[in-house]
């Protein structure tokens, strides 16, 4: 029998170890994760898959592998954090250069610690380099009731004299078990077309998903899922990981010629370098992993549950129905115009009224004013107070758009502080949307931002901020910081986090939405300090179905803002039914972004009714479990007591009727009453044959069915 030790707790605790064989086992409700050390102390993966016992995982720890020939590394594809050094030829997760020019790392194991807290257990493996003063700690956290395993790394320069150059510091490498085939799921996009799901065979070689933009990006999102090509929504094994970071990032998925797959991920993109001064530590963000034995649907539900339990600051709340004035007014904002919109919004049941861009400085177009965060007195002669007061009087909360990290060169701020922006000597300052990026890594700049934000929120009684970020980085330099200039890629993002955290601490009632020209900054890092996110500036309901499907792979409906806007759509020119637009937006956090001052009485009445319906189903949508059925055009949200089924039929052929929609996540023994028709269905029938749903005739048809368990 192996010698099973859990430093605290029993052998049933989430983390156990066999100190003689140097094997550790992490257990979650539906998975387990095993690792060991090679004879040279390199940490190595043994198992990531179904629940196994410690003896079963110890049995996987054979003698050290040997290189099959003189061109291969023995352990490529299996290491927990493949370093640059020795006979390793895959992507390096940790790459450093010491002061004397040596680049390779050699592991020396110092010991492990297991700590148990109320909501989870943490394993820490301590290493040092065999010769140089570099300490490396690998962390693994298992959370009570969740299949997500959090991993991160801490580096420390434990020497007294010389600094260490960090060329790459990933948070974790995840080793996928050997399978006959591999498929990679991820999302791609651009402005107005975020979160398009791609599910393709993983090619041999290396696939790099990355953002070099200083933000998470519209173009890729920092997560991957892998399966053997045989998983579906509700069956098959899926291995995935998501990175909790909102700056530049890189995930490299490597498939070697003998079909071993590993992926490694962390902050920063290629070519950026950081330094660790003597005594300094660098802690990476969490790169969390999840094994699902039951398909992409179960994987998504695992991630949603993780976001609700561990990430979102107020998961228990339901998000209010909001109105946002951007598409209605553009930059043409005025006190009377906003009051008119607010009055109409309150009358149809809106709970949070958000004034978008154009309220400050000389911001009458996107050419000027960013950085001058004083209310525009031509537009709001008595400040924001009368509008905020009126919105509150109408029974709504008040939200405001801000874009703290930016400056228009045509602004008082830029004239006063031209050196506050990211820049290089002797290089142009490239503008995008007529704006430059403020260097938040510089404490003078981030202190200034926190100062005006906290004053604004406090003085004007702001309940909600839409925090926008409307351009990618360029010329990301800081000429005055000659010691470690690339650090700004990390420190800018950390400063944004710190400001959000401080704002929340000082104004506990404040709620924040993350926006970056749509979905440019959506990730688990920003979700930890915001309440909702804006997935896309493209509010066309038909396009949104795809964007939302991609979004939902990782992120919960509880945080997904979705607006109903006007016909024809400003991006696509498409016309869709109002009810269809509502139903699509009701699968997340419902908002209205259309110009309700031009809506007819009939449309307003319809809106009022649909908002009331949303408020009824909102707890199920925002807190229930999501089941997708893309083939049936359906999404469902399920709690113990209630189920809400959405069906979307944007178009059809030959006037054919649609097959019944099979309802998932129900108890076959249970009975379910249709809350609108009163008809009672058996759970087994709904699961096996499905529900007949009648849809209006014509394109952009949709329906909602509410079922209550009886
Ligand atoms: C970005 C946002 C929009 C709007 C504008 C305002 O594009 O994504 O929703 O706030 O900025 O300038």
Instruction: Using DSSP, state whether 564 is helix, strand or coil.
Output: strand
484 a catalytic residue: no
Q: State the residue range of the domain holding 639.
A: 630-709
The pLDDT assigned to 658 comes to 86
* Residue ranges with strand state E in 566-683: 589-592, 625-629, 634-638, 642-649, 671-674, 680-682
692: domain CATH number is 2.60.40.1180
76, 537, 540, 566: which is the annotated catalytic residue? Answer: 537
Spatial separation of the C-alpha atoms in residues 489 and 439, rounded to whole Å:
10
Are 617 and 636 in the same domain?
no
Are 640 and 516 in the same domain?
no
In a domain, 3, yes or no: no
Which residue lies with its CA nearest to atom 2 of ligand 1?
517
Are 195 and 261 in the same domain?
yes
Single residue among 254, 278, 311 that ends a domain in this structure: 311
Are 538 and 391 in the same domain?
yes
Single residue among 623, 655, 685 that ends a domain in this structure: 623
In a domain, 387, yes or no: yes
What are the 10-residue block averages of pLDDT along the chain, 710 residues in total?
38 85 97 97 98 97 92 95 96 98 97 93 98 98 96 97 97 96 98 98 97 98 98 97 98 92 97 96 98 98 96 96 96 97 98 98 98 98 97 98 98 98 97 98 98 97 98 97 94 98 98 98 98 98 97 98 96 96 98 97 98 98 97 95 97 85 96 97 97 93 97
The CA dihedral of 606, 612, 617, 623, to the nearest 10 degrees, is 120
In a domain, 523, yes or no: yes
Are 606 and 568 in the same domain?
yes
In a domain, 396, yes or no: yes
Are 50 and 93 in the same domain?
yes
Ligand 1 within 6 A of CB of 325: no
Which residue lies with its CA nearest to atom 7 of ligand 1?
517
Residue 377 has, within 13 A of its CA and on its CB side, a CA count of 2
Of 105, 159, 132, 440, nearest to 280 by C-alpha is 159
Q: Which residue has the tokens 């194991």?
A: 109
The preferred substitution site among 325, 470, 522, 571 for testing ligand 1, maximizing ligand atoms within 8 Å of CB, is 470
CA angle 110, 116, 122 (to 5 degrees): 50
**81 in Cβ contact with 157 (< 8 Å):** no
What separation in Å is there between the alpha carbon of 555 and the centre of ligand 1? 21
**80 in Cβ contact with 45 (< 8 Å):** yes
73: domain CATH number is 2.70.98.60
Are 29 and 125 in the same domain?
yes
Ligand 1 within 6 A of CB of 515: yes
Who contacts 279 (Cβ-Cβ below 8 Å, separation ≥6)?
A: 156, 157, 158, 160
543 a catalytic residue: no
Are 280 and 178 in the same domain?
yes
Ligand 1 within 6 A of CB of 192: no
Single residue among 287, 311, 335 that ends a domain in this structure: 311
Ligand 1 within 6 A of CB of 531: no
Ligand 1 within 6 A of CB of 518: yes
Of 378, 375, 404, nearest to 388 by C-alpha is 375
Are 659 and 617 in the same domain?
no
In a domain, 239, yes or no: yes
Q: Answer whether 0.85 is exceeded by the pTM.
A: yes
In a domain, 431, yes or no: yes
For residue 310, what is the DSSP state? Answer: I
In a domain, 317, yes or no: no
Q: Using DSSP bridges, classify how beta strands 397-402 and 352-355 pair: parallel, antiparallel or unpaired.
A: parallel
The pLDDT assigned to 2 comes to 34
Spatial separation of the C-alpha atoms in residues 8 and 16, rounded to whole Å:
9
Are 142 and 65 in the same domain?
yes
531: domain CATH number is 3.20.20.70
In a domain, 434, yes or no: yes
Instruction: Using DSSP, state whether 356 is helix, strand or coil.
Output: coil
Are 505 and 612 in the same domain?
yes
Are 374 and 295 in the same domain?
no
The pLDDT assigned to 8 comes to 41
Spatial separation of the C-alpha atoms in residues 470 and 623, rounded to whole Å:
30
- How many domains is the chain partitioned into structurally? 3
């Amino acid at each position: 029998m192996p010698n099973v030790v859990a430093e605290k707790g029993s052998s049933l605790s989430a983390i156990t170890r066999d100190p003689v064989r140097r094997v550790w086992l992490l257990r979650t409700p539906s998975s387990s994760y095993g690792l060991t050390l090679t004879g040279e102390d390199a940490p190595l993966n043994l198992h990531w898959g179904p629940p196994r016992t410690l003896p079963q995982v110890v049995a996987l720890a054979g003698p050290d592998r040997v290189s099959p020939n003189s061109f291969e590394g023995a352990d490529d594809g299996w290491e927990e954090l493949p370093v640059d050094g020795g006979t390793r030829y895959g992507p390096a997760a940790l790459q450093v250069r010491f002061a004397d020019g040596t680049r390779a790392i050699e592991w020396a194991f110092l010991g492990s610690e297991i700590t148990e807290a109320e909501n989870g257990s943490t394993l820490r493996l301590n290493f040092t380099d065999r010769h140089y003063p570099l300490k490396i700690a690998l962390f693994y956290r298992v959370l009570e009731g969740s299949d997500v395993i959090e991993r991160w790394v801490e580096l420390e320069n434990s020497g007294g004299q010389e600094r260490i150059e960090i060329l790459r510091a990933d948070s974790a490498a995840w080793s996928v078990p050997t399978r006959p085939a591999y498929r990679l799921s991820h999302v791609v996009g651009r402005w107005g077309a975020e979160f398009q799901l791609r599910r393709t065979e993983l090619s041999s070689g290396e696939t790099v998903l990355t953002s070099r933009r200083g933000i998470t990006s519209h173009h890729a999102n920092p997560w991957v899922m892998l399966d053997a090509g045989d998983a579906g929504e509700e069956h098959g094994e899926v291995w995935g990981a998501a990175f909790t970071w909102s700056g530049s990032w890189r995930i490299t998925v490597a498939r070697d010629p003998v079909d071993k797959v590993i992926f490694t991920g962390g902050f920063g993109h290629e070519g950026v370098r950081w330094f660790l001064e003597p005594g300094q530590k660098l802690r990476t963000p969490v790169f969390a992993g999840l094994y699902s034995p039951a398909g992409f649907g179960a994987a998504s539900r695992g991630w949603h549950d993780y976001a609700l339990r561990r990430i979102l600051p107020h998961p228990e709340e339901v998000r209010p129905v909001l109105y946002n004035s951007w598409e209605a007014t553009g930059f043409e904002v005025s006190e009377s115009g906003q009051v008119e919109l607010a009055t109409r919004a309150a009358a149809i049941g809106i709970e949070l009224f958000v004034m978008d861009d154009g309220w400050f400085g000389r911001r009458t177009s996107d050419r000027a004013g960013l950085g001058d965060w004083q209310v525009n007195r031509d537009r709001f002669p008595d400040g924001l107070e009368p509008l905020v007061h009126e919105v509150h009087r109408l029974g709504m909360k008040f939200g405001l758009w801000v874009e703290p990290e930016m400056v228009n060169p045509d602004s008082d701020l830029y004239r006063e502080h031209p050196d506050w922006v990211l820049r290089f000597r002797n290089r142009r300052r490239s503008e995008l949307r007529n704006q430059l990026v403020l260097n938040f890594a510089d404490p003078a700049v981030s202190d200034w931002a926190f100062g005006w934000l906290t004053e604004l929120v406090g003085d004007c009684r702001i309940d909600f901020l839409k925090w926008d970020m409307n351009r990618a980085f360029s010329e990301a330099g800081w000429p005055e910081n000659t010691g470690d200039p690339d650090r700004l890629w990390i420190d800018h993002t950390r400063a944004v986090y710190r400001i959000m955290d401080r704002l929340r601490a000082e104004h506990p009632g404040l709620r924040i939405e993350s926006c970056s020209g749509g979905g440019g900054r959506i990730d688990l890092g920003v979700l930890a300090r915001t309440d909702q996110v804006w997935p896309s500036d493209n509010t066309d309901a038909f396009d949104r179905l795809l964007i939302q499907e991609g979004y939902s792979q990782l992120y919960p409906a509880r945080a997904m803002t979705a607006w109903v806007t006007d016909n024809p759509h400003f991006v696509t020119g498409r016309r869709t039914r109002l009810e269809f637009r509502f139903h699509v937006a009701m699968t997340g956090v419902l908002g209205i972004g259309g110009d309700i001052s031009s809506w007819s009485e009939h449309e307003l009445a319809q809106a009022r009714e649909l908002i009331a319906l949303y408020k009824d189903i909102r707890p199920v949508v925002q807190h229930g479990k999501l089941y997708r059925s893309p083939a049936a055009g359906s999404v469902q949200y399920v709690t113990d007591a209630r189920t809400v089924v959405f069906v979307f039929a944007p178009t059809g052929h030959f006037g054919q009727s649609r097959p019944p929609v099979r309802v998932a996540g129900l108890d076959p023994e249970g009975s379910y009453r249709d809350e609108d028709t009163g008809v009672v269905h058996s759970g087994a029938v709904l699961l096996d044959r499905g529900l007949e749903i009648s849809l209006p005739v014509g394109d952009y048809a949709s329906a909602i069915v509410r079922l209550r368990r009886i």
